[in-house]
Amino acid sequence: MFRVCIVLLFSLLSVLVAAQEQALPPLESKYEASHAMVLFTHNSIVYAYNLPQYNLPSNVQVLYKLEVKDVALLQLVRDAQIVTIKPEVFNIQRLMQGEELTINADIYMGHFERDGMLVHEKRPLTFAKKLYARYMADLQASSKKQIYDVVPLNKNNKIYIHQIQQPPSYDHVIHIDIEASCLSTFNTSSPVPKRSELQYKFINCGTMKPLYYETKDFQ
């Protein structure tokens, strides 16, 4: 009887896994590219956030937790002002759907397209867990009203990601150790506020660490 129950249990699990796989939409080849990303850390955990753009195949925003066992890489990401990667060609919809996968990537200290220095070539990186994903479709009109999505890391630690609008707009990612109530929607002096103004908007939320800010790609 015990063996029968075990067989039935494994059969049920197999059916559930198969059903989940069938539920995922097919990948679209138009999303295959070398999707550049920025890396940053919090509490010895490395995160990857793609560098979005308005046009295909980069019109998505996605945040992933990486599995990193390389101490040298962890120290580089922790200590450098900015670290970016240029991965091998892959379909970013695999990340949008929450897949765990390993991708080889060139790692740069600095921005890979703006005088960044190549420090590691074809280094395997394991994308372990999806934390956030958004297709940049039906964007809001450019506005002084800014909306941020909140990604919880644990009880108090959160990452705020700006919902990119129609041009002109900006990309902004910031980590906050929440100590007080924190607004995720607020008005700014212009549709593309300076970094300093954005930091002031979050100044009363708690301890903050700016992670990424970009305006050139959204004009």
pLDDT at residue 12, rounded to an integer: 59
Q: Is residue 124 part of a domain?
A: yes
What is the pLDDT averaged over residues 104-132?
96
Asked if 130 and 43 sit in the same domain, the reply is yes
Look up the domain containing 127 and give its range.
Answer: 29-135
Average predicted confidence (pLDDT) for the chain: 91
Q: Is residue 16 part of a domain?
A: no
Sort 151 into a burial class: Cβ within 10 Å, 0-12 / 13-18 / 19+: middle
pLDDT at residue 91, rounded to an integer: 98
Domain count, the chain: 2
pLDDT at residue 194, rounded to an integer: 97
What is the pLDDT averaged over residues 109-124?
94
Q: What phi and psi, each to the nearest 5 degrees, are found at residue 93? A: -65, -20
pLDDT, tens only, 37-94: 999 998 889 999 999 999 999 999 999 999 999 999 999 999 999 999 999 999 999 9
Asked if 174 and 102 sit in the same domain, the reply is no
Residue that finishes a domain, picked among 103, 135, 167: 135
pLDDT at residue 24, rounded to an integer: 77
What is the pLDDT averaged over residues 171-179?
94
- Which pLDDT band, with edges at 50, 70 and 90, does 208 fall under? very high
Asked if 129 and 167 sit in the same domain, the reply is no
- Does pTM top 0.85 for this prediction? yes
Q: Is residue 21 part of a domain?
A: no
Asked if 150 and 104 sit in the same domain, the reply is no
Residue 22 pLDDT > 60: no
Asked if 112 and 202 sit in the same domain, the reply is no
* Six token digits for residue 195: 């970094």
Instruction: Quote the CA–CA distance of 118 and 170 in Å, as a whole number.
Output: 26
Asked if 68 and 158 sit in the same domain, the reply is no
What is the pLDDT averaged over residues 156-168?
96
Residue 118 pLDDT > 80: yes
Asked if 33 and 85 sit in the same domain, the reply is yes
Q: Is residue 4 part of a domain?
A: no
Q: Is residue 82 part of a domain?
A: yes
Asked if 98 and 181 sit in the same domain, the reply is no
Residue 17 pLDDT > 50: no
Asked if 124 and 173 sit in the same domain, the reply is no
Contact residues for 179 (Cβ-Cβ < 8 A; gap 6+) = 156, 205, 206, 207
Residue that finishes a domain, picked among 94, 112, 135: 135
